[in-house]
Amino acid sequence: MQQWLDSLIRGWGHDPSAWPWTQFVYLAFMGLFAFAVINFAAITAGIFSWAERRVAARMQSRVGPNRVGPGGFLQWVADAVKLLTKEDLIPAESDKVLFRIAPYFMMVGFACVFVALPFSHRLVIADMNLGIFFILAVTALIVVGIIMSGWSSNSKWSLFGAIRSAAQIISYEIPAGMALMIPVLLAGTLSTQGIIRAQGGWPWQWFVFDNPATFAAFFIYFISALAEGNRTPFDLPEAESELVSGYNTEYSGMRFSYFFLVEWGNMWVMSALATTMFLGGWQIPGVSAAQLDAMTGGRAVVFELLSLAIFVGKTLFWVFVVMWLRWTLPRIRVDQMMNMCWKYLVPVSFVSVIFVAGWMMVVRAAPAVGTVTHWIMFLAAGVVPAALFVSRVARNIRDTGDRFDFTSNW
Amino acid sequence: MAENVTAQRQTPGAIGAYVKNVRDTAKSFWEGMSVTLSYMFRKPITTQYPDRVPVPVRDTIPPRYRGFLEVDMDICTACQACERACPIQVINIDILKGDGKTTPKLRMERFDIDIGKCMYCGLCVEPCPTGAIQHTREFEGAVMHFNNLTLRFVPDPLVPAVPYKPPKGADAFPRKPLGEITRALIAAWDAPPPPFPTKEQLDGDKGAAHGKPKPAGLDPTAMGRQLAAKALQVKEDKPALQKVLEEAMAGTDCGDCGYPDCKGYSTALAYGKDTSTEKCAPGGADTKAMLETILVSLKTGKVPEAPAAEAPAPAEAKAPGAAPAGDAEPSGPPLAKTLPKDELFKHVLDAMAGTDCGDCEYPDCEGYAKGIVYEGQADLDRCAPGGEDTRAKLFKIMLGTKPPPK
């Protein structure tokens, strides 16, 4: 972003390095970006809350909220207004200071991720050379907020939820970190933009189809991200039937809405990260990153928007998958959750890292092996399962004597 | 060989179990997600009540559904059997008595059913002799104003409903199609309640005399007639009429009537914006009776006669000189001793309410009258619609005494 700012200032005929107060200009723009990012996060989280209810409703043969605005789209605005105007209750026996600031810890941990998260070819707040490391580090702040809210509420439900969440997030950080190591190994950089540049626009150039270990790592990352975001089937910290609402039981009004903002906003974060690390990010098929760099003028703007659309499209697809999973799978037990992490995901992720390290040596010796594996993986793990899945879904509809009808009864 | 394979499947090794778990997980994801996605692409089966349904929901519910009550006033006999059957006093019927010659013997000034209170038990429907009161299939009770939940089947108390005389031996009655009347009433549900008087009306005469608290022991019927006479003189002069009406009220300005003070309520009555006479809680039955007397005499154009023999009021409360001849017959043998049975039967039948309600456990009024005259029925207390009135008459005719207090 600094380069972008500098070029902007130079475009106006000034030299930023000659200014004595350039730092303040940067500071002002940092504030502006922070404002934009927080608003982006809040609005997407709001829209996801509506989308999730519509998706859930369709999957349960219901209609869902469809009264406020076209298709019920403004439902999230109505809910936000309701939440913001509700009374902010603070339990008498709680630790009042911690209780008040806990939601902000979560908000900070969540919003900081957007600093290193790319949106398009040029649009990223800061393309840090340790981007992934930064993202993993700041997401850990969410656990602090969760434990803080659970502890300070002075309620057993809240504390149970917080402890479960701590156990879960800390456990799943390991497979998530190891799985994210694999694209880092392949790309040779921690920078998010660098990792996207190391991939290509076509699906067979994505890291997910690079070799069997990356394919496994993608799913390990996705499962771990679900667990870290407290999403079903890993929503044990807020298991309604057991813990009322878990760590946020005692919260109301605006502070309560922060927790949900983080939960829904996290769907964007986990999906955008999966897109960045494994699915080619904003890469446009047939246009290389170097070609994009060389573009200027209106052409650059068009391709910039195209890359933005590609990135957002991929991310939204995985957001949909996260919702889809939530309305498919029941919540798993605590012991199953721990089993899954320590007995399956952790060992497989370690094996995958070692496999990829060896694989890179093989591919360096014989590049043709890598190309062939790309294609085999793309066909065997991508195209064929997708086709089988579509036919399976079609058969599910047909077998019940029903038919495909997506448009009526909205 | 086959046994061997089965045995292996039952006790897989550690690695086999591990791989099996992974495979099962992937399979359950595959199956589960294909099912949920397939439902996503089907038509939702829920109905979008209330405005996106092909037919109104009330037309899809069973015919014997117990929805809002409906009374067809054209076939209502004013027997009040429903009012008596109601366990929670949801139904309110006000009967206006006449002499049976110039005015009908019974008229209904009010037939209100408070839907907000009704528990839809159906007990009122059972005793109705003509099927005038029925449950409809209407059920949507969301209203803008709570007071509108009361269904008023006599829209204007100044135009009382005349009871229906069922033909002898009839077992079917010309009832309007079920639901029409209630639907018409609930169509007006979201109309605003009677408005408050405007500021001009209130400020018009600020220092005007408010209604005074009535001295204890005042005879409300006499005062009602006096006020009615006054009101008739100033019939067209609304502010003066308002003052007359206000005099009938308790004068406490309690606001229970829904208007800011007595003046507000009486103004609404004077301008005809409100026709309900029972809103004055501190004034109670007295105020209600006086207001009714005034409103009825405004409508009919003459002050009602002082209560005759049928009036339940004690004799000492009557205005002096107002009692017509033939009223006082305290002594002498009862008619039952002097008249032949056929004549007596006519008198007895005349004393009854004539609604054929069947509450006396005879099929109709004629049955009860026959029972008393020819069959020696000694219980003279059975005519519920006639009330105290009929009771007093029957005791006088048959025994020549006043009825014992209840």
Q: pLDDT, tens digit, for every residue of A65-110?
A: 888 888 888 988 998 888 888 888 888 888 888 888 888 888 888 8
pLDDT (0 to 100) of residue A239: 73
Q: Would an 8 Å CB–CB cutoff place B48 in contact with chain A?
A: yes
Question: Could you tell me the CA-to-CA distances from B31 to A65, A317, A405, B28, B35 in Å, in that order?
Answer: 28, 20, 21, 5, 6
Cα pseudo-dihedral A247, A250, A254, A256, rounded to 10: 30
Residues 6+ apart with CB under 8 A from B402: B392, B395, B396
Are B113 and B153 spatial neighbours (Cβ–Cβ below 8 Å)? yes
Q: How confident is the model at residue B315 (pLDDT cuts 50, 70, 90)?
A: very low
Most confident of A107-116, A286-295, A307-316, B221-230: A307-316
Nearest chain B Cα distance for residue A344, angstroms: 8
Interchain CB contact of B17 with A (< 8 Å): no
Is the sign of the CA dihedral A194, A200, A201, A202 positive or negative? negative
Q: Which two tokens stand for residue B158?
A: 């100044």
Chain A residues close to B30, C-beta within 8 Å:
389, 392
Segment B169-177 shows an average pLDDT of 83
Instruction: Please judge whether B42 and A402 are an interchain contact, meaning their C-beta atoms are less than 8 angstroms apart.
Output: yes
Lowest mean pLDDT among A62-76, A143-157, B222-236, B374-388: B222-236
Partner-chain residue, chosen from B21, B30, B41, that has the shortest CB–CB distance to A397: B41
At residue B323, the pLDDT reads 41
Q: Which residues of B touch A401 (CB under 8 A)?
A: none
pLDDT at B119 (0 to 100): 92
Mean pLDDT of chain A: 86
Q: What is the largest CA-CA distance in chain B?
A: 122
Residues of A in contact with B17 (CB under 8 A): none
CA A235 to chain centre: 16
Taking an 8 Å cut-off on Cβ atoms, the answer to whether B33 and A324 are in contact is yes
B174 token code pair: 């010309």
B-chain CB neighbours of A324 within 8 Å are: 33, 36-37, 40
CATH for the stretch B59-187: 3.30.70.3270
Which of the residues A317, A327, A348 would you substitute to probe the B interface, choosing the one with the greatest number of B C-beta atoms within 10 Å?
A327
Cross-chain residue pair B32–A405, CB shorter than 8 Å: no
Average pLDDT over residues A54-63: 88
Position B12 confidence tier, pLDDT thresholds 50, 70, 90:
low
pLDDT at B325: 43
- What's the confidence (pLDDT) of residue A27? 83
Buried b / exposed e along A35-56 (16+ C-beta atoms within 10 A): eebbeebbebbbbbbbbbbbbb
Residues 44-63 in A contacting B (C-alpha not used; CB under 8 Å): 55, 57-63
| Contact check, Cβ <8 Å, A403/B46 | no
B44 touches chain A (CB under 8 A): yes
> What's the domain count of chain A?
1
B-chain residues near A403 (CB < 8 A): 42
pLDDT of residue A271: 92
Band (pLDDT 50/70/90 cuts) for residue B1 is very low
**Using CA atoms, how far apart are residues B380 and A121, in angstroms rounded to an integer?**
101
Q: How far is CA A9 from CA A1, A31, A123, in A?
A: 12, 17, 17
Chain B hits for A402, CB-CB cut-off 8 Å, are: 42-43
The answer to whether position A168 is within a domain reads yes
Contacts of B45 in chain A (CB under 8 A): 61
Picking from A135-144, B170-179, B295-304, which range would have the lowest pLDDT averaged per residue?
B295-304
A381–chain B Cβ distance below 8 A for any pair: no
pLDDT tens by residue, A247-262 = 888 888 888 888 888 8
Would the CA dihedral through A122, A124, A128, A129 be positive or negative? negative
3-state secondary structure chain B: CHHHHHHHHHCCCHHHHHHHHHHHHHHHHHHHHHHHHHHHCCCCCCCECCCECCCCHHHHCCCCCCCCEEECHHHCCCCCHHHHHCCCCCEEEEEEECCCCCCCCEEEEEEEEECCCCCCCCCCCCCCCCCCEEECCCCCCCCCCHHHHEEECCCCCCCCECCCCCCCCCCCCCCCCCCHHHHHHHHCCCCCCCCCCCHHHHHCCCCCCCCCCCCCCCCHHHHHHHHHHHHHHCCCCHHHHHHHHHHCCCCCCCCCCCCCCHHHHHHHHHCCCCCCCCCCCCCHHHHHHHHHHHHHHHHHCCCCCCCCCCCCCCHHHCCCCCCCCCCCCCCCCCHHHHCCHHHHHHHHHHHCCCCCCCCCCCCCHHHHHHHHHHCCCCCCCCCCCCHHHHHHHHHHHHCCCCCCCC
Residue where the block lists tokens 């076509």:
A202
Q: How sure is the predictor about B319, in pLDDT bands with cuts at 50, 70 and 90?
A: very low
Q: Does A325 touch chain B (CB under 8 A)?
A: yes
- d(CA A248, CA A94) in angstroms, rounded, equals 13
Mean pLDDT of A21-34: 81
**Range B196-202 average pLDDT:** 68
> Residue for token digits 């009714």?
B292
Range with the lowest mean pLDDT among A15-19, A247-251, B123-127? A15-19
Least confident of A158-167, A316-325, B353-362: B353-362
- Domain residue limits at A142: 2-6+19-64+79-394
Q: Does B51 contact A at CB distance below 8 Å?
A: no
- CB count within 10 Å of CB B252 equals 16
CB spacing of B43 vs A63 below 8 angstroms: no
- Tell me the chain A residues in contact with residue B36 when contact means C-beta distances shorter than 8 Å: 59, 324, 327-328
Neighbours of A336 (CB within 10 A): 12
Nearest residue in chain A measured CA to CA from B42: A405
Q: Average pLDDT of A322-343? A: 88
Is residue A12 assigned to a domain? no
More confident residue, B315 or A28: A28
pLDDT at site B206:
52
What are the two backbone dihedrals, phi and then psi, of residue B110, each rounded to the nearest 5 degrees? -150, 135
Confidence of residue B312 (pLDDT cuts 50, 70, 90): very low
**Are the CB atoms for B128 and B82 separated by under 8 Å?**
yes
Question: Any CB–CB contact under 8 A between A156 and chain B?
Answer: no
Q: Which residue has the tokens 């996060």?
A: A41
Task: Please indicate whether, in this complex, the C-beta atoms of A61 and B36 are within 8 angstroms of each other.
Answer: no
Chain B residue numbers with beta carbons less than 8 Å from the beta carbon of A61 are 39, 42, 44-46
Q: Please check whether residue B47 touches A, CB under 8 A.
A: no
pLDDT at B120: 92
Pick from A4-13, A123-132, A385-394, B335-344 the range whose average pLDDT is largest: A385-394
Q: Provide the pLDDT for residue A320.
A: 92
**Which pLDDT does position A410 carry in this prediction?**
67
CB under 8 Å to B289, separation ≥6 — which residues?
B220, B221, B224
pLDDT at residue B88 is higher than 60: yes
Which residue out of A59, A67, A329 would a mutagenesis test of the B interface target, given it has the greatest number of B Cβ atoms within 10 Å? A59
Mean pLDDT of the B157-176 span: 83
Calpha distance A397→A407 (Å, rounded): 15
Q: Specify the length of chain A in residues.
A: 410
Specify the higher pLDDT residue, B210 or A53. Answer: A53
The token duo for A252 is 């109301």
Cβ contacts below 8 Å, chain A against chain B, sum to 69
More confident residue, A241 or B265: B265
In the predicted structure, residue A354 carries a pLDDT above the cut 90: yes
More confident residue, B375 or B307: B375
* Beta-carbon separation of A328 and B36 below 8 A: yes
The CATH-assigned architecture of domain B335-398 is Orthogonal Bundle (1.10)
Instruction: Give the mean model confidence (pLDDT) for residues B356-384.
Output: 82
Nearest-by-CA chain B residue for A385: B30
Q: Describe the strand order of the beta sheet including B91-97 as a list of residue ranges.
A: B91-97, B106-114, B150-152
B92 token code pair: 């309110």
pLDDT-derived band of residue B203, with 50, 70 and 90 as boundaries? low
Mean pLDDT, residues A304-325 taken together: 91
Tell me if A396 and B29 make a contact (CB, 8 A cut-off): no
Between B121 and A247, where is the model more confident?
B121
Quote the pLDDT of residue B309: 44
pLDDT computed for residue B193 by the predictor: 63
Which carries the bigger pLDDT value, residue A275 or residue B186? A275
Q: What is the structure's pLDDT at A380?
A: 87
pLDDT for residue B326: 43
Q: What is the spatial distance between Cα A33 and Cα A115, in angstroms, rounded to a whole number?
A: 9
Rounded mean pLDDT of chain B?
77
* Sign of the Cα pseudo-torsion (B104, B105, B110, B116, in order): negative
d(CA A205, CA A279): 9
Q: Looking at residue A220, what is its pLDDT?
A: 92
- Please, which pLDDT band fits residue B123 given cuts at 50, 70 and 90? very high
Percent of chain B with pLDDT over 90: 4
Q: State yes or no: pLDDT of A224 exceeds 80.
A: yes
Distance, in Å, from the CA atom of A299 to the CA atom of A301, rounded to the nearest integer, reads 5
- Which of A62, A329, A402 has the CB atom closest to B46's CB atom? A62
pLDDT, mean of residues B237-250: 79
* Rg of the Cα atoms in chain A: 23
Residue from the list B21, B35, B41 with its beta carbon closest to the beta carbon of A404:
B41
Core vs surface per residue B234-250: b (16+ CB within 10 A) or e: eeeeeebbbbbbbbbbb
Which of 272-331 (B) contact A at CB < 8 A?
none
Q: Determine the pLDDT at residue A211.
A: 87
Taking the Cβ of residue B40 and every Cβ of chain A, the question of whether any pair is shorter than 8 Å is answered with yes
- Say if A70 falls within a structural domain: no
Distance between CA atoms of B303 and B230, rounded to whole angstroms? 10
Residue A270, pLDDT > 80, answer: yes
Position B161 scores a pLDDT of 86
Tokens of B145: 């104003």
Tokens of B181: 């009347």
Q: What is residue A313's predicted lDDT score, i.e. its pLDDT?
A: 92
Closest in B32, B33, B38 to A397, CB measured: B38
Model confidence band, residue A388 (pLDDT cutoffs 50, 70, 90):
very high
HSE-up (13 A, CA, CB side) for residue A117: 29
Please report the pLDDT score of residue B211 as a whole number.
Answer: 44
Identify the residue with better confidence: A187 or B145.
A187
Confirm or reject contact between B218 and chain A (CB < 8 A): no
Residue A396 to chain B, least CA–CA distance (Å): 6
CB contacts of B40 in chain A (<8 Å) are 55, 58-59, 324, 406
In the structure, what pLDDT confidence band is assigned to residue A179 with cuts at 50, 70 and 90?
Answer: very high
* CB-based contact B106:B96 (threshold 8 Å): yes
pLDDT at B209 over 90: no
A55·B40 Cβ contact <8 A = yes
Name residue, tokens 């809680």. Answer: B281
CA distance B33 to chain A (A): 6
Dihedral over Cα of A67, A70, A74, A76: its sign: positive
B212 pLDDT tier (thresholds 50, 70, 90): very low
